[in-house]
Structure 1
């Protein structure tokens, strides 16, 4: 399992069950690929900057939320052999928040303008 620390401005739409794309610093993704997991738990309260600084050993100035991710694989394929992940390995993660058609994503600013200008809700699209 991986532990992510997410700032409050990014936590609002994070939910259990969302897919996560992981890049391990010890295994550059350009050579060893991207890895995946799924959000298994989102903390209900933020860790204080002091708590996070104590955990990470570096100064943090904003509160962070703990997000646990269940990894699809506990190993990385390195040169044809599985190499186990170790506790404490640093990583970067992208939580996949939204699945929309490209046209909906492109037109979202216009929908928002229309809602503000006309006072009407934007059309909703059915997703396959």
Structure 2
């Protein structure tokens, strides 16, 4: 596998996280798949990993293996018509991207403010 194929697979996985989120909210998705989808999404966006990233090589295995395997499993459990509908919703993601950027700016500002307060206490 070359770098180009790897990048394409990673982009597909990123899109599939949004598809999982949309499928979680879909009324035709079975309850047990919704639970599994939430667990996979939470693990994918969580800063806490099963294997910490500071452990050489093994630390990134969960990012490269566990998350894509979880996403693939959940997508296979979701009814095909729900997946198609969710992929169509994902195509119209401009609003979602804007919300993500706003959330990222807010979080960065919050961390900046916290660091500023800590520095003021000690300086």
TM-score bucket of the superposed structures, by smaller chain: under 0.3
Greater per-residue helix proportion? 2
Larger Rg: 1
Greater per-residue strand proportion? 1
Q: TM-score, normalised by structure 1?
A: 0.25
